[in-house]
């Protein structure tokens, strides 16, 4: 059974979340992913403005990744065991 991994970069210079998901062959709702992208940008802005600590940035990024992962699992009808 094939194992699928979702890899999302969250830095300032990475491609959009939509582009990253497309490159990995995942289906997704464009409107939902656009919202995720705004959240990703917000986390980056807050970190660069030194308004959140590195720890807070990491926690926010992990929470956002979990939301993205849940969305991708649902849209692609994957079982959680297949997604890392």
Q: Three-state secondary structure along 24-56? A: CCCCCCHHHHHHHHHHHHHHHHHHHCCCCCHHH
What per-residue confidence (pLDDT) applies to 8? 97
The conformational region for residue 53 under phi > 0 = left, psi -120 to 50 = alpha, else beta, is: beta
Is pTM beyond 0.85? Reply is: yes
What are the tens digits of pLDDT across the range 17-58?
999 999 999 999 999 999 999 999 999 999 999 999 999 999
DSSP state of 83: B
Given a cut of 50, whether residue 74 has pLDDT beyond it is: yes
What percent of the chain shows pLDDT beyond 90? 82
Given a cut of 50, whether residue 1 has pLDDT beyond it is: no
Whole-number mean pLDDT of the chain? 92
CA–CA–CA angle 80, 81, 84 (5° rounding): 80
């Amino acid at each position: 059974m094939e194992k699928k991994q979702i890899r999302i970069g969250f830095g300032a210079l990475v491609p959009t979340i939509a582009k990253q998901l497309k490159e990995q062959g995942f289906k997704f709702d464009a409107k939902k992913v656009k919202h995720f992208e705004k959240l990703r940008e917000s986390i980056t802005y807050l970190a660069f403005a030194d308004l959140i600590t590195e720890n807070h940035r990491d926690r926010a990024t992990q929470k956002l990744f979990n939301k993205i992962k849940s969305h991708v699992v649902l849209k692609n009808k994957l079982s959680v065991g297949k997604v890392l």
